[in-house]
Structure 1
């Protein structure tokens, strides 16, 4: 058991679309990520996708629907099987929770991040 300072952990890297694992919670990985620009549309067949905006704002594009704006202090959950694309005009810092081993790229052709532990 230990306290984890998210601000300190986010200062350890500058890459985008590269989630870093902070801790495990049951069978899930708790991660932080920075991103800017847009990711590929993708979906996760067996798990929901959890996003909590720590700093900045992002959009979640859902295929066939209007985009959702998610601001600092807000969270958004994409249900399993829904095609989505996170994007941000300016750098955003996000907390993610995913089942251990779940590729962040879902079913897209994009290579999944290695998810290093920090």
Structure 2
């Protein structure tokens, strides 16, 4: 029998920061959740937009050109393709992300926090 998914509950169960988990697929996009704290990395996705939706906490998305967007619970922002950005959370923040399946975690850079799509598709923690 089909079961509903609670993105907030799934994000709460994550035990590693900046390590998104795929919850579902919609056409050519993945629906993901992540638990974040601190800074990820300045990066861009040349061919894909990236949607950030805050489930809990606060997220600042630094954008090229000394701009930034601050999001609270229930707010979202789409980073347009090609725009350099850096997500930052001073305190723990839980996110829902919508990205095309081709979107690399840290775009055009690789850091120790970069997660492959295989890692993101891993089973949710028990």
| TM-score, normalised with respect to structure 1 | 0.92
Q: What corresponds to 2:24 in structure 1? A: 23
* Secondary structure at the counterpart of residue 9 of structure 1: helix
- Once the two structures are superposed, the pairs formed by residues 39-50 of structure 1 within 5 Å of their partners are 39-50=40-51
Q: What corresponds to 2:108 in structure 1? A: 107
Q: Kindly provide the CA deviation profile for residues 69-108 of structure 1, in whole angstroms up to 9, marking residues without a partner as x.
A: 1111000100000000000000000000111142111001
Distance 1:2 1:9, change over 3 A: same
Q: Relative to total residues, which structure has the larger helix share, 1 or 2? A: 2
- Once the two structures are superposed, the pairs formed by residues 1-118 of structure 1 within 5 Å of their partners are 1-110=2-111, 112-113=114-115, 114-115=119-120, 116-118=122-124
Comparing 27-36 with 5-14, greater Cα deviation is found at 5-14
* Secondary structure at the counterpart of residue 10 of structure 2: helix
Q: Kindly provide the CA deviation profile for residues 11-42 of structure 1, in whole angstroms up to 9, marking residues without a partner as x.
A: 33221000001111111110100000011100
| TM-score, normalised with respect to structure 2 | 0.87
Query: 1:117 Cα deviation (Å)?
Result: 4.2
Q: Tell me, which stretches of 5 or more residues in structure 2 are unaligned?
A: none
Give yes or no for contact 1:22–1:117 (8 Å, CA) kept in 2: no
